[in-house]
Amino acid sequence: MELNKFKILIVDDEETILELMHDYLSQEGYNVQTTSDPLEAIEIITGGNIHIVLSDIKMPRMNGDELLEKIKAINGLVQVIIMTGFASLDNTVRCLESGANDYLLKPFKDMKEVKDIINLTINKLSRWQQVVKDIYVK
């Protein structure tokens, strides 16, 4: 699996989380970009080439629910994984109904959990790309 083929954007207002995730995932071979500002995240996504977004829910300037809706309006194929330390059934259902592709609870048990979710998402995107290739490239 070509991990660096898919670009990952991590959005979280906690710099420690951004650094930890960036360092770990980069060392594992993922193509990772980070921002602590949801408005900057929108600019990055609008610029294109982001495949997966991991976003916190509670952030200043814009919460993760709003960011999720804006991402899906820009590009519905971007896979959004919500991260939160404030889990509730209502919040989870609302995010999934708004287009989130998965949900991670913070603090993470270990980074392998994050890596597993990302790998599932990459596998899904790879399958989609292959289907499109099979349909349109003959």
Question: Would you list the domain boundaries of the chain?
Answer: 3-136
Residues 112-138, mean pLDDT to the nearest whole number:
87
Q: Is 110 helix (H, G, I), strand (E, B) or coil?
A: coil
The alpha carbon dihedral of 30, 26, 107, 111 has a sign of positive
* Range of lowest pLDDT (21-30, 33-42, 58-67, 127-136): 127-136
pTM for the predicted model, two decimal places:
0.91
The answer to whether residue 88 scores a pLDDT higher than 80 is no
Residues 86-103, mean pLDDT to the nearest whole number:
81
Quick one: what percent of the chain has pLDDT higher than 90?
63
Q: What is the pLDDT of residue 119?
A: 95
Residues 99-104, mean pLDDT to the nearest whole number:
91
Cβ atoms of 99 and 80 within 8 Å: the answer is: yes
Q: CATH fold of 3-136, please?
A: Rossmann fold (3.40.50)
